[in-house]
């Protein structure tokens, strides 16, 4: 088995919003099949598919009712098999979402196997990630069950070896079918401190994130399942720091191949958490990513991402989605894709899709957003203030339908979409991107190719430059000596530096500004290859 995933680029599909083939307004598997050539053209190696399992959709599929069945709106198991074949025929791989911290309360286990869940006579003070208490009372059992997410997502009891064996059996079933790996949903939450102590202000995270038996469980999962297959794993791990990540991703430990860290995504949140948003301080971002680049170099492996189905759109968040949308989207892509790790592209990122500002709360569908809105309104916060934080941070920013064309509903559906399309689809869509040789799409395509051809991107060390510069993120990729020098302007101001030697490897402007200096124009990104030229 090799580390083939180190040179791969992953594309995340959120199936509900990707492509609807049958006009019911909900994306589906046949829709995905129609678009595989598009992904192949982009240069994608691995598709990460958000959950397609049978689910009552309290949390859009992250509440699974049956791990062995496809959600009716998405199609059938035959459709799934056809899709898997079609992916493999094109030389791509499929990574499934593995959601085993919790199931749906409609999963038959919840009715049949009490000891698969976490029950207490008295709840502790933990709050749910989706607002309100993390415990709900079950009348029949006369006890409370734990749900870190919604009350329809009861947490599984990983202390129970029978439950663990059921999970491993299910994973083997999918791998035997031919899937190529798993993205593991909040996998570092599965081991809870059995005493379930109260947490400060109801925040129980220190008792369930990176819990006492987490490494043991992951190792067991590898020994029982994963090591028998040539597959790839990425653990979604909120609250994992670099020390944890070194343990999780060191191949010696047999846990996961790489992780999703959240630290860089939390930098524009305040003391009140993600909704308490503030301007990003670029120096914080640089130092955070530097820390991660160094911590995992030569030890483990990281994933590189700006977007997913839980995050606002990066071009609206750290870029300029107005005057410099195309330039800043390319700059952000450069900044991320020149680092060490496996890059993830979230659907629509490759065409620079933006956040959305719906007027009415009724246009929002996400349970996290809706629960937060209700809770804040009841606490006396004004509608406009809450909407402002939803515009900045709400998960539906990422979940509006993929914009394929300038046709009605962006070509996503011939029916009524389950969530409204971003009105800017007439201008921002995949058709337009494919027609324009200078588009964000083709820029991503080039970055993906460079990762394949230039080993320094995969293997080199990282050295931060101009640490305290407030608007420019510059770094080198080093192998003995610096080989690539990357300059990214996170602003619309001009900035001047000494011009590094070397030829330009990739840039988001046509040519350099004249003279001996390096003059960085608004949102400019340029990579110098110091192995070439003077
Ligand atoms: C993380 C997933 O990415 C998110 O969408 C989901 O709501 C929670 N885990 C719960 O499964």
Whole-angstrom Cα distance, residue 483 to residue 495? 23
Question: 495-498 and 53-54 as β-strands: parallel, antiparallel, unpaired?
Answer: unpaired
Tokens at 248, concatenated: 């999780």
In the block, residue with structure tokens 């049978």: 54
Q: CA angle at residue 222 from 68 to 156, to 5 degrees?
A: 50
- Predicted confidence at residue 250, as pLDDT, reads 98
Ligand 1, atom 2, residue with closest C-alpha? 185
Instruction: Please give all residues whose beta carbon lies within 6 A of any atom in ligand 1, as ranges.
Output: 59, 62, 99, 149, 185-186, 236, 309-310
Indicate the fold that domain 8-104+181-188+234-448 takes in CATH: TIM Barrel (3.20.20)
3-class DSSP assignment, residue 243: helix
Whole-angstrom Cα distance, residue 179 to residue 175? 5
Q: What is the CA radius of gyration of the chain?
A: 23
Among residues 155, 266, 172, which one has the least CA distance to residue 211?
Answer: 155
In the block, residue with structure tokens 């492509």: 19
The whole-angstrom distance between residue 102's C-alpha and the CA centroid of its chain comes to 19
Reported as type and span, the H/E element at residue 315 is helix 314-317
pLDDT in tens, 22-81: 999 999 999 999 999 999 999 999 999 999 999 999 999 999 999 999 999 999 999 999
Tokens at 285, concatenated: 């971002």
Distance from residue 61's CA to the centre of ligand 1 (Å): 9
Please state the length of the chain: 534
Distance from residue 215's CA to the centre of ligand 1 (Å): 21
The whole-angstrom distance between residue 58's C-alpha and the CA centroid of its chain comes to 20
Among residues 407, 273, 395, which one has the least CA distance to residue 346?
Answer: 395
3-class DSSP assignment, residue 100: coil
Tokens at 300, concatenated: 């483990």
Atom of ligand 1 nearest to the CA of 102: 11
Backbone φ and ψ for 455, nearest 5 degrees, come out as: -60, -25
pLDDT under 70: residue ranges of the chain:
1, 534
Whole-angstrom Cα distance, residue 398 to residue 392? 11
Q: Could you tell me the residue ranges of all domains in the chain? A: 8-104+181-188+234-448, 459-529
Whole-angstrom Cα distance, residue 194 to residue 185? 21
Does 459-529 match 8-104+181-188+234-448 at the fold level?
Answer: no
The HSE-up count of residue 151 (CA atoms within 13 Å, CB side) is 9
Distance from residue 365's CA to the centre of ligand 1 (Å): 15
Reported as type and span, the H/E element at residue 507 is strand 503-507
Catalytic residues: 185, 236
For residues 400 and 18, the answer to whether their CB atoms sit within 8 Å is no
The secondary structure of residue 127, as a DSSP letter, is B
pLDDT, averaged across the chain: 97
Atom of ligand 1 nearest to the CA of 395: 5
Burial of 78 (0-12, 13-18, 19+ CB in 10 A): exposed
Whole-angstrom Cα distance, residue 274 to residue 332? 21
Mutate to test the pocket of ligand 1, among 186, 260, 303, 393 (most ligand atoms within 8 A of CB): 186
Q: How far are the Cα atoms of 114, 142, 192 from residue 65, in angstroms, in the given order?
A: 16, 23, 23
DSSP conformation letters of 22-52: SSSSS--HHHHHHTHHHHHHHT--EEEEPP-
- Predicted confidence at residue 1, as pLDDT, reads 46
pTM for this prediction:
0.98
For residues 261 and 268, the answer to whether their CB atoms sit within 8 Å is no
The whole-angstrom distance between residue 322's C-alpha and the CA centroid of its chain comes to 24
Tokens at 392, concatenated: 């900045």
Residues in contact with 347: Cβ distance below 8 Å, sequence separation at least 6, in sequence order? 11, 12, 13, 14, 17, 18, 402
pLDDT in tens, 315-356: 999 999 999 999 999 999 999 999 999 999 999 999 999 999
DSSP conformation letters of 431-491: HHHHH-TTSHHHHHHHHHHHHHH-HHHHH-EEEEESTT-SSEEEEEEEESEEEEEEEEE-S
Among residues 316, 318, 293, which one has the least CA distance to residue 304?
Answer: 293
Indicate the fold that domain 459-529 takes in CATH: Immunoglobulin-like (2.60.40)
Among residues 273, 302, 278, which one has the least CA distance to residue 290?
Answer: 302
Ligand 1, atom 8, residue with closest C-alpha? 62
For residues 225 and 169, the answer to whether their CB atoms sit within 8 Å is no
- Predicted confidence at residue 260, as pLDDT, reads 98
Ligand 1, atom 6, residue with closest C-alpha? 62
Atom of ligand 1 nearest to the CA of 59: 7
DSSP conformation letters of 188-224: GGS---TT----GGG--HHHHTT-TTHHHHHHHHHHH
- Predicted confidence at residue 352, as pLDDT, reads 98
- Predicted confidence at residue 272, as pLDDT, reads 86
Distance from residue 502's CA to the centre of ligand 1 (Å): 44
In the block, residue with structure tokens 């035959």: 78
Among residues 78, 56, 59, which one has the least CA distance to residue 14?
Answer: 59
């Amino acid at each position: 088995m090799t580390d083939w995933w180190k040179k791969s680029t992953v594309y995340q599909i959120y199936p509900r919003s990707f492509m609807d083939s049958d006009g019911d307004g909900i994306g589906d598997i046949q829709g995905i099949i129609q678009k595989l050539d598009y992904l192949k053209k982009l240069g994608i190696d691995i598709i990460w598919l958000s959950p397609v399992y049978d689910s009552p959709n309290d949390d859009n599929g992250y509440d699974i009712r049956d791990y062995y069945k496809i959600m009716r709106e998405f199609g059938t198991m035959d459709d799934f098999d056809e899709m898997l074949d079609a992916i493999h025929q094109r030389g791509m791989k499929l990574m499934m979402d593995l959601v085993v911290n919790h199931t749906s309360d409609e999963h038959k286990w919840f009715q049949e196997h009490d000891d698969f869940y976490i029950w207490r006579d008295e709840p502790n003070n933990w709050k749910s990630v989706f607002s309100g208490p993390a415990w709900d009372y079950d009348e029949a059992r006369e006890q409370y069950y734990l749900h870190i997410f919604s009350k329809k997502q009861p947490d599984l009891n990983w202390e129970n070896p029978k439950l663990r064996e059921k999970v491993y059996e299910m994973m083997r079933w999918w791998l035997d079918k031919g899937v190529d790996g798993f993205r593991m949903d909040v996998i570092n939450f599965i081991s809870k401190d059995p005493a379930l102590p109260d947490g400060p202000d109801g925040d129980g995270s220190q008792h369930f994130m990176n819990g006492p038996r987490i490494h043991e469980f992951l190792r067991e999962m590898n020994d029982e399942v994963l090591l028998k297959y040539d597959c790839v794993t990425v653990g979604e791990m909120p609250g994992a720091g670099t020390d944890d990540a070194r343990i999780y991703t060191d191949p010696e430990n047999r846990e996961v191949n790489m992780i999703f860290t959240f630290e860089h995504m939390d930098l524009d949140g305040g003391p009140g958490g993600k909704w308490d948003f503030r301007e990003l301080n670029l120096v914080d971002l640089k130092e955070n990513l530097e820390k991660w680049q160094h911590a995992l170099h030569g030890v483990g492996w990281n994933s590189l991402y700006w977007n997913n189905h839980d995050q606002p759109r990066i071009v609206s968040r750290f870029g300029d989605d107005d005057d410099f949308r195309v330039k800043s989207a390319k700059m952000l892509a450069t900044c991320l894709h020149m680092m060490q790790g496996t890059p993830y592209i979230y659907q629509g990122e490759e065409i620079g899709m933006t956040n959305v500002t719906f007027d009415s709360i009724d246009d929002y569908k996400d349970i996290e957003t809706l629960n937060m809105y209700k809770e804040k309104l009841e606490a006396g916060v004004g509608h406009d203030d809450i909407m402002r934080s939803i515009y900045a941070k709400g998960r539906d920013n990422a979940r509006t339908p993929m914009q394929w064309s300038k046709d009605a509903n962006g070509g996503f559906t011939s029916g009524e979409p389950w969530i409204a399309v971003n009105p800017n689809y007439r201008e921002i869509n995949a058709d337009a991107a494919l027609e324009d040789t200078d588009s964000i799409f083709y820029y991503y395509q080039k970055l993906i190719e460079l990762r394949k051809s230039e080993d320094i991107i995969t293997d080199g060390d990282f050295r931060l430059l101009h640490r305290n510069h407030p608007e420019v993120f510059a770094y080198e990729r080093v192998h003995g000596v610096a080989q690539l020098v990357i300059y990214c302007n996170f602003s619309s101001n001009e900035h001047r530096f000494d011009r590094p030697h070397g030829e330009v490897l990739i840039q988001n402007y046509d040519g350099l500004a004249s003279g001996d200096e390096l003059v960085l124009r608004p949102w400019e990104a340029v990579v110098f290859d110091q192995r070439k030229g003077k």
